[in-house]
Amino acid sequence: MCGIVGAVAQRPVVEILLEGLRRLEYRGYDSAGVAVVRAEGDLVRSRAVGKVAALMERLDGEPIDGKLGIAHTRWATHGVPAERNAHPHFSGEWVGLVHNGIIENHVELRKRLQDDGYRFDSDTDTEVIAHLIDIFRRQGVSMLDAVMAARCELHGAYAMAVISPDEPDTLIVARQGSPLVLGLGIGENFIGSDIQALLPVTSRFIYLENGDVARITRKKIDIFDVNGERVVRPVRESNASMCSAELGDYRHFMLKEIFEQPQSVTGTLENRLAGDHVLPALLGVSDALERLAQVEEIQILACGTSYHAGLVGRYWIEANTDIPCNVEVASEYRYRRQPPRKNMLFVTISQSGETADTLAALEKIKENHGALATLTICNVAESSLTRESDMALMTMAGPEIGVASTKAFTTQLVALQLLMVLLMQAKGADKAKVAQMVADLRKLPALIEQVLDLNPKIETLAERFIEKNHALFLGRGELYPIAMEGALKLKEISYIHAEAYPAGELKHGPLALVDSEMPIVTVAPNTALLEKLKSNLEEVRSRGGELYVFADREAHIVAADNLHVLEMPHVPEMLAPIVYTIPLQLLSYHVAVLKGTDVDKPRNLAKSVTVE
Ligand code: G6P
């Protein structure tokens, strides 16, 4: 999704801005641009469709530079990817602006501004903001006041950064609904839509709150809240390393992140397991067990891959506690009336902690006082979800750059296991059972290592998929969401249409699609439903379908014509969803590489979806 970088410094800033944009590429985008106020005192920009590299090429031919600048990667929402729609947008020669988010009342504003004589150069919702600000600055107020006045007329979500030759030493930013962080340098300051963009220049950050507007100069930062009152926001030192956003020896971030899973899972378990139980302190509050003891219902909300983690979580929680658990995609939940619930724990799951729909669902439940407590399972410590929730269970996956989520997903599953065990402890479950689960969790990193060793075999298997247009993924029980995640991974990065079905549903429709052109991928650990699954596989084989089965070595599924079996290590039943995710990630990855797609930045998708 769109990325923002800005800088005010004593040195030329274009190089810093471009490096920031490059580091935001993982978010997904279709065009890029940069604008500066030059030493000559004029506002100039350069924009290009495509990658940041295309913008850099353009700048090589026609360089611009200055000590105050803003830059942007755009992911189209209003208007096709085209140079005229790329940010920064200008109002005449006096206002330059970059924006993330969506302005919902842009049609009315555009009409009003056109009636006032403003000419529009783009199809975007963003351009109205630039002209609105211009109206106020023409009245002779400061840029800060102009931005404050303009934002009162905007409905929707935004993070924006504004520059003007009127004030060649000042960067103005505002935040409502979309993330924005200020980076503090020495005699220079920066802004970005996430800290990744700014790690080469600083490790000290201020996270703006919703409604904040800030005036940033080289030496000073003034922040004003939604009521225009001056406020002080804490400065946070980040220990995020720059290296985690580097590829190292890997060809793609996705492969690197798949192979990082033993470490990210270890990190998520570290300091959280005592001898035979889970430490309640991991929820970041001192009375975690008391709070969990009161829980009578759980509602899990998430989007995309994180939603699939939630679906697995429901199987686990309901299998091991008496607490009913619902799971829903946040974009649906936020617009639906729900009957009042009793003592509900409201759990959001998110890699980024900034997904607009998930945040909106959390806001809704908080506004209605509909939950006993809110808890987020999240990978970004300073994200909006973490800050807005009562409790946070952090996944320790480290920065995830590939758009297709891998290590964030498996660490979310680990976090859900930890939460489930904590709920069991809070509800007084059998101690031996808890101890067994804790012992099993400790085996997880080694089991993942074993599955990663299957990589060469999976790479060979992938060759059989590259000519296919469709694929079916089957699973049963808590492995059904894993089949869903496998199908999502394949379609996201290889563009092969893939669907997941609970294997028992085959005969109610999808069996009609089965022929030799339809590969059917199945996960078959040695669980209670294995024998049922085997019958489902026979239904497919007898109709000429080509089966690819990742099967427990003790499952006794024997390879035959049209039945390819890849043997998996034997795993404790509760860990199967985590371990069986790995081969499906590798399969999608290799298919995509063989097809030559942009694995880390698949077309039309964004890493962090900060607009609705
Ligand atoms: C986007 C990403 C997915 C991710 C989803 C939810 O669609 O491409 O990989 O699963 O957003 O993101 P979150 O950060 O909330 O987990």
Look at residue 447 and tell me if it is in a domain: no
How many angstroms separate the CA atoms of 519 and 466, rounded? 11
Angle between helices 261-269 and 431-452 (to 10 degrees): 160
232 & 256 share domain: no
Give the torsion through C-alpha atoms of 16, 355, 261, 250, to 10 deg.
-40
Distance of CA 34 from the midpoint of ligand 1 (Å):
27
409 & 476 share domain: no
Answer whether 608 contacts ligand 1 (Cβ < 6 A): yes
Q: Does pLDDT of 556 surpass 70?
A: yes
376 & 493 share domain: no
187 & 284 share domain: no
Answer whether 605 contacts ligand 1 (Cβ < 6 A): yes
Q: Does pLDDT of 611 surpass 80?
A: no
496 & 458 share domain: yes
User: Which pLDDT score, from 0 to 100, does residue 245 have?
Assistant: 66
Residue from 2, 303, 325, 378 carrying the catalytic annotation: 2
User: Which pLDDT score, from 0 to 100, does residue 244 have?
Assistant: 60
Residue 499 pLDDT class (50, 70, 90 cuts):
very high
Domain that holds residue 591: 452-604
User: Which pLDDT score, from 0 to 100, does residue 241 have?
Assistant: 61
Look at residue 321 and tell me if it is in a domain: yes
How many angstroms separate the CA atoms of 217 and 190, rounded? 9
Answer whether 306 contacts ligand 1 (Cβ < 6 A): yes
What values do phi and psi take at 586, rounded to 5? -65, -40
Is 441 or 562 the better-scoring residue by pLDDT?
441
Maximum C-alpha span of the chain: 80
User: Which pLDDT score, from 0 to 100, does residue 571 have?
Assistant: 95
266 & 217 share domain: no
**Averaged pLDDT, 201-218:** 94
Look at residue 47 and tell me if it is in a domain: yes
**pLDDT-above-70 percentage for the chain:** 99
**Averaged pLDDT, 511-532:** 86
Look at residue 287 and tell me if it is in a domain: yes
Q: Does pLDDT of 369 surpass 90?
A: no
202 & 274 share domain: no
What are the pLDDT digits (tens) for 313-346? Answer: 999 999 999 999 999 999 999 888 888 788 999 9
Which of 237, 268, 301 is the last residue in one of the domains?
237
What are the pLDDT digits (tens) for 20-49? Answer: 999 888 777 889 999 999 999 999 999 999
How many angstroms separate the CA atoms of 349 and 343, rounded? 19
Structure tokens at 291: 């709070």
What values do phi and psi take at 68, rounded to 5? -135, 125
How many angstroms separate the CA atoms of 296 and 326, rounded? 12
Query: Is 468 an annotated catalytic residue?
Result: no
Distance of CA 355 from the midpoint of ligand 1 (Å):
7
Look at residue 185 and tell me if it is in a domain: yes
User: Which pLDDT score, from 0 to 100, does residue 592 have?
Assistant: 97
Q: What's the structural domain count of the chain?
A: 3
The domain that holds 405 is classified in CATH as 3.40.50.10490
Position 326, amino acid = N
Look at residue 437 and tell me if it is in a domain: no
The domain that holds 224 is classified in CATH as 3.60.20.10
Answer whether 331 contacts ligand 1 (Cβ < 6 A): no
Alpha helix (H) residue ranges in 498-548: 530-541
188 & 288 share domain: no
Answer whether 329 contacts ligand 1 (Cβ < 6 A): no
What values do phi and psi take at 560, rounded to 5? -155, -170
Which of 215, 237, 259 is the last residue in one of the domains?
237
The residue ranges of DSSP E strands in 217-372, in sequence order, are 221-224, 230-231, 235-237, 297-302, 325-329, 344-350
Look at residue 436 and tell me if it is in a domain: no
User: Which pLDDT score, from 0 to 100, does residue 120 have?
Assistant: 96
Answer whether 303 contacts ligand 1 (Cβ < 6 A): yes
What are the pLDDT digits (tens) for 65-116? Answer: 999 999 999 988 888 889 999 999 999 999 999 999 889 899 999 999 999 9
Answer whether 305 contacts ligand 1 (Cβ < 6 A): yes
Which of 359, 394, 429 is the last residue in one of the domains?
429
pTM of the model: 0.77
Residue from 67, 256, 601, 607 carrying the catalytic annotation: 607
306 & 174 share domain: no
Look at residue 435 and tell me if it is in a domain: no
Residue nearest (by alpha carbon) to ligand 1 atom 8: 607
Query: Is 325 an annotated catalytic residue?
Result: no
Q: Is residue 68 exposed (0-12), middle (13-18) or buried (19+ Cβ within 10 Å)?
A: buried
Residue 202 C-beta-side C-alpha neighbours within 13 Å:
24
Give, for ligand 1, the residue of 26, 355, 389, 605 to mutate: max count of ligand atoms closer than 8 Å to Cβ: 355
295 & 392 share domain: yes
What are the pLDDT digits (tens) for 227-269? Answer: 999 999 999 988 766 556 678 889 999 999 999 999 999 989 9
465 & 506 share domain: yes
Residue nearest (by alpha carbon) to ligand 1 atom 2: 607
Residue nearest (by alpha carbon) to ligand 1 atom 3: 304
User: Which pLDDT score, from 0 to 100, does residue 315 have?
Assistant: 97
Residue 307 C-beta-side C-alpha neighbours within 13 Å:
15
150 & 299 share domain: no
Ramachandran area for residue 521 (φ above 0: left; ψ -120 to 50: alpha; else beta): beta
How many angstroms separate the CA atoms of 10 and 492, rounded? 43
Answer whether 348 contacts ligand 1 (Cβ < 6 A): no
Residue 473 pLDDT class (50, 70, 90 cuts):
very high
